[in-house]
Amino acid sequence: MKIALIAHDKKKPALIQFVTAYQKVLGQYELFATGTTGLRLIEATGLSIHRFQSGPLGGDQEIGAMIAKNKMDMVIFFRDPLTSQPHEPDVTALIRLCDVYDVPLATNMGTAEILIHGLERGDLKWRTIVNSDEGAQNE
């Protein structure tokens, strides 16, 4: 299971708090993050996290490419809806890709907690079936 962790600047402290609280759960999976968010999460938790470019420099698009190739299973993206983002089209594209490829997406802490609890219960195991079906089609 591959999980992307993203946060706009004003939401980074909340994502750090969230990942710290669910570190034991998240530590069992492959984690990915945009640049600055990933660095701050690594510093705060010590978790192993693959870092992409920062969001405005293409990190959102790198994660989007993984989604389009069915190589990302969940996205936790703490968005700041009250601040204009210079790379908003990239954010919109990422959200759209999650919808197109049925990738679970949380854009706030409440939804992220529901996804994490579902992950703990095994509710997202269907993603491994999707991934194995995709692999069979590519052979």
Q: What is the pLDDT of residues 26-69, one digit of tens each?
A: 999 999 999 999 999 999 999 999 999 988 888 889 999 999 99
Q: pTM for this structure?
A: 0.90
Q: pLDDT tier at 138 (50, 70, 90 boundaries)?
A: very low
Burial 104-134 (b: 16+ CB within 10 A, else e): bbbbebeebeebbeebeeeebeebeeeeeee
CA distance 74 to 88: 20
1-35 tens-digit pLDDT? 999 999 999 999 999 999 999 999 999 999 999 99
- Between CA 73 and CA 68 the distance in angstroms is 11
CATH superfamily ID and name for 2-122: Methylglyoxal synthase-like domain (3.40.50.1380)
Q: Percentage of residues in the chain with pLDDT exceeding 70?
A: 93
90 an active-site residue?
no
pLDDT value at position 132?
67
Contacts 24+ apart (CB under 8 A), 100-104: 101/67, 101/68, 101/70, 102/130, 103/67, 103/72, 103/73, 103/74, 103/75, 104/73, 104/74, 104/75
Catalytic residue among 9, 60, 99, 123: 60
Q: What is the DSSP letter of 75?
A: E
Structural domain spans, the chain: 2-122
